[in-house]
Structure 1
Amino acid sequence: MKKRGLLLVNLGTPENTSPRALRKYLKKFLSDRRVIKTHPLVWQPLLHGIILNTRPRKSARLYEKIVQEGEFPLLTYTAAQEKNLQELCPDVEVAMGMSYSAPSIETSLENLLNKGVEELTVLPMYPQYSGTTVGSVFDSVMNYFLKKDNIVDLSFIRSFYQEPLYIKYFADKIKNALAKETDIEALIFSYHGIPLSYVTDGDTYPEECTETTRLIMEEIGDFPHYQTYQSKFGPAEWLTPATDDTLKKLPGQGVKKVLIVAPGFVVDCLETLEELEEENRTYFLENGGEKYIYLPPFNDDKAFAELVKEIVK
């Protein structure tokens, strides 16, 4: 029997909260042609001339807000899920890799192959497919093997938003919260946004987000809800409606008590802990909102490991 391996891949984090560390991280992240499609002859001078000289200081202050016991939650929780899966699947070599920080995808692949893995499954920790995330992971994995004489049996998980255990996890979490907070007036499903031009080019991300919302609501039943997109970057037109704009307007429309969930995230990170739990909470309350409850994703819950085991079995 061939030795099996599993690589969990997440986005990555800066090394620390210093502007220098953020500059290094953002340089790699924002140089990915899957993330920024603008031609390098146009984009790179802008990136190096303006963005990397201004954004790192601002980003460093934001990252300082989410540090927990000296570590970033995304890295902590991804490592916890690596451990959960290794315990759940002792016959499988489990590793984690990051697209834009350590441990890199390439380093983790090298380690798995050095351990004798012959049958490898790669699972990007993004429930819905987008070229900006899953597509980038695919490129990194393929580029690694382009330089190798030894090619293993490879399985790549494109998305898992339709998996019953994934849908049930979020549906149950929402139902439990609604049973406790009986005065909630609406649910907000917030997904990370992408430029609209990427969708025009063929990215199926918004379709998969909409189907995720539909499947979760099918389990919950009839309840007011909104689907929004967050984390817009740059002047281009992005998916709408925007999460921040929606939360600013809802109190004026009579919706003052909301429950917000982000099913596009497996673990908490800057976009959930700072942007959703803090920044958007402030927008909502400042505009007349009265109750704002954020429901975290899997984080270190072993339910995610059970889900992955079901996906790759």
Structure 2
Amino acid sequence: MKKGVLLVNLGTPETPTTPAVRAYLSRFLADSRVIDLPRAVWLPILHGMILPTRPHRSAALYRKIWTKQGSPLLLYTQKQTQQLQALLPDQVVRYAMCYSAPTVATVLKEMQALKVTDLTVIPLYPQYSSTTVGSVFDQVAAYYMQAAAQPQLHFVSSFYQEPRYIQALANQIKRALRQANYDQIVFSYHGIPQKYADNGDPYPQQCTATTQQVMALVGEVPYIQSYQSKFGPSQWLRPATAQVLQNLPQQGAKRVLVITPGFVADCLETLQEIDHENREYFRQSGGRLFTYLHPFNGSATFTQVLAALAQR
């Protein structure tokens, strides 16, 4: 039996240019898991209103976070894959992206060519949502619907209760608390539309469980949970991170520690939205100290979490 592990993240534009961002967004926003509207209603809006204008604005933001080596999300996903391969030398470890190269189908084909007969798929989202993990499952299932043979398949739908993941987050916070005093810890998670949660998506409950388990290890420190990255006019999970960070200084909390436990690698939503935009909102509202705790990125601690999931 030959074992394999496939790590899957969202994806990234190939370059921080308008055409590349348009190509990426056209794949991402066309996914019915991401935008749950009738295709006859949504696709004309996407192609007629969003794709002609949004990619130009988004490309400018991507350029602010781009490194000399490329996309931060891609670089950290590659590093996580390399480190996991080193920990699991007898297994085939690869990564794929939902909406950019290498695609899930491409890498599953490679796994098949390498004669992997036992495959563990780990979406790099700690909390399950139909908009993220559900989409990974769809792509894996679609590939094997057309394949002549399937491996023994193990699908990790979430790891928000994985003890090593919780401990790693708590340790990050404890280290920061030893270095400075804070009035509030802000747990910011990527939002989803409220109607998805109303229809049974367990994401908000899993986010809350993450926060509570981490704080049980951290101790008695004031904290608040919020949601970021709202897209479109519909109601999303509340409270909104931007609003929370604007309100906190007026409520006397002028020193905040911000953590994003739903992200395992830095990307546009963390580096630009949290560490730049929201930092500025907080400062303009009278905040004095804003510390952003980066995701695990290339941390060996997180690689150990992935190894534990794979070996289980």
Q: Which residue of 2 aligns with 1:69?
A: 68
Structure 2 CA distance for aligned equivalents of residues 59 and 141 of structure 1 = 29
Q: Provide the residue aligned with 1:258 in structure 2.
A: 256
Secondary structure of the 1:121 match is strand
Q: Is the 8 A contact 2:192 2:236 kept in 1?
A: yes
The CA distance in 2 between the partners of 1:92 and 1:227, in whole Å, is: 38
Counterpart residue number, 1:286: 284
Residue of structure 2 in register with 1:174 after alignment: 173
CA distance in 1, matches of 2:69, 2:16: 10
Once the two structures are superposed, the pairs formed by residues 263-278 of structure 1 within 5 Å of their partners are 263-278=261-276
Q: In the TM superposition, what is the alpha-carbon distance from 1:308 to its structure 2 partner? A: 1.1
Deviation at 1:61, TM superposition (A): 0.4
| Paired position in structure 1 for 2:154 | 155
Alignment deviations for residues 7-45 of structure 1 (CA, whole Å, 9 cap, x no partner): 000000001011111111000000000000011111011
TM superposition shift of 1:73: 0.6
**2:100 aligned with 1:98:** no
Q: Distance in 1 between matches of 2:168 and 2:67?
A: 25
Once residues 204 and 94 of structure 1 are traced to their aligned partners in structure 2, the CA distance between those partners, rounded to angstroms, is 29
- TM-score, normalising length: structure 1: 0.99
- 1:127 corresponds to: 126
1:245 lines up with 2:243 in the alignment: yes
Q: CA deviation at 1:112?
A: 1.0
Partner in structure 1 of residue 12 of structure 2: 13
Equivalent residues of 2:186, 2:225 under 8 A apart? yes
1:217 aligns with one of 192, 205, 215: 215
Task: Give the corresponding residue for 2:193.
Answer: 195
CA distance in 2, matches of 1:18, 1:89: 37
- 5+ residue gaps, structure 2: none
Map of 1:226 onto structure 2: 224
1:140-184 CA-partner distances (Å, limit 9, x unpaired): 000000000111100000000101100000100100100001x21
Identity among equivalent pairs (%): 50
1:167, 1:62 → 2: CA distance?
Answer: 31
Does the alignment pair 1:112 with 2:111? Answer: yes
Could you say what secondary structure the match of 2:239 adopts?
Answer: coil
Partners of 1:5 and 1:124 in 2: CA distance: 14
Question: C-alpha distance in 2, partners of 1:220/1:122?
Answer: 31
Q: Report the alpha carbon displacement of residue 116 of structure 1 after superposing the two structures with TM.
A: 1.0
| Long gaps (5+) in structure 1 | none
User: How far did residue 70 of structure 1 move?
Assistant: 3.8
Q: What code does the residue aligned with 2:131 have?
A: T
Q: Give, in whole Å, the separation in 2 of the partners of 1:255 and 1:308.
A: 36
State the alpha-carbon separation in 1 of the partners of residues 69 and 152 from structure 2: 38
Alignment coverage as a number of residue pairs: 311
Aligned equivalent of 1:55: 54
Question: CA separation in 2, counterparts of 1:109 and 1:70?
Answer: 26
Question: How many angstroms apart in 1 are the aligned matches of 2:12 and 2:279?
Answer: 24
Instruction: Tell me what 1:79 maps to.
Output: 78
Check whether the contact 2:69–2:75 (CA below 8 A) recurs between aligned residues. Answer: no
Distance in 2, matches of 1:163 and 1:151, equals 28
Q: CA-to-partner distance for each residue in 1:172-215, whole Å, 9 max, x for gaps?
A: 0100100001x211100000000000011110000000000000
